[in-house]
Amino acid sequence: MKTCNFCGNKNFVSKNVDYIYKHHGRFMLFEGVPCEECTYCGERYFEADTLKKVEFDFFEVLNEKRQPSRKIEMPVEVFAA
């Protein structure tokens, strides 16, 4: 049985979520990435093969071997306490 590494909960739900991949200051948003999410604290767990595909797809787009599904513009703000 699985146990959440953060809160110790044993209940998880399968979900498809948005995932932001970052590498050397470059970002890519992946939509619909499968994961298991803790029902208590929300910590997400991804299969290794899923994360390998995310990384592979990121570098395919970065190296212009293919185009992303779409592009978005996102505002950026520096956090000031």
Is the pLDDT at 13 greater than 80, yes or no? yes
The Cα angle at residue 56 between residues 51 and 59, in degrees rounded to 5? 125
Contact between 17 and 45 under an 8 Å Cβ cutoff? The reply is no
CATH dotted code for 12-62: 3.10.20.860
SS3 23: strand
Q: Domain spans of the chain? A: 12-62
Q: What is the mean pLDDT of the chain?
A: 96
Global pTM reads: 0.88
Region of 27 (left: φ > 0; alpha: ψ -120 to 50; beta: rest) is: beta
pLDDT in tens, 14-34: 999 999 999 999 999 999 999
Contact between 13 and 36 under an 8 Å Cβ cutoff? The reply is yes
Contact between 37 and 64 under an 8 Å Cβ cutoff? The reply is no
